[in-house]
């Protein structure tokens, strides 16, 4: 049995924006965006406990920002780029472009 993900048409803006409004979740999204391949939960350098990380991944998945597939004991995460672009054109790119925007 696979994991629950909202359909593209069911993505709602407030939920997506809320999912993106947490620094840790933004870090996850950025890590996925800069990766060629799906990433496991434990490989993103999050400075939080595993249970908290699980919570954040769930928020992102429930909002439709990421897609998760089980792979043994691990879980492979990927960005739902096309779905987000289809539903909210330009939004993801704008957020990703703004994330590293805290230079010296």
Give residues in contact with a second copy (CB under 8 A).
Answer: 12-15, 17-18, 20-23, 26, 87-91, 93-95, 97-99, 101-102
Element (H, E) at 45: none
Question: For residue 46, which of 79, 78, 23, 19 has the smallest C-alpha distance?
Answer: 23
Contact set for DNA, span 3-42 (CB under 7 A): 18, 21-22, 24, 40-42
Which lies closer to DNA via its Cβ, residue 16 or residue 68?
Answer: 68
Stretch that binds DNA, among 27-35, 50-58, 78-86, 91-99 (CB under 7 A): 50-58
User: What are 77's strand-pairing partners?
Assistant: 39, 68
Residues 6+ apart with CB under 8 A from 79: 29, 32, 33, 65, 66, 67, 92
Which of 74, 81, 88, 91 is close enough to bind DNA by CB under 7 A? 74
CB of 62 to a second copy, least distance (A): 14
92: alpha, beta or left, given left = phi > 0 and alpha = psi -120 to 50? alpha
Q: Please choose which of a second copy, DNA, none residue 52 contacts, taking the beta carbon within 5 to 8 angstroms, the exact cut-off set by kind.
A: DNA
């Amino acid at each position: 049995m696979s994991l629950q993900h909202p359909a593209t048409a069911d993505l709602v803006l407030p939920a997506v924006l809320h999912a993106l409004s947490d620094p840790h979740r933004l870090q996850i999204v950025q890590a996925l965006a800069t990766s060629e391949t799906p990433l496991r939960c434990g490989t993103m350098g999050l400075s939080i406990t595993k249970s908290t990380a699980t919570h954040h991944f769930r928020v992102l998945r429930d909002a439709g920002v990421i897609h998760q597939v089980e792979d043994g004991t691990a879980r492979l995460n990927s960005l739902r780029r096309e779905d987000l672009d289809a539903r909210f054109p330009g939004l993801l790119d704008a957020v990703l472009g703004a994330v590293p925007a805290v230079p010296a």
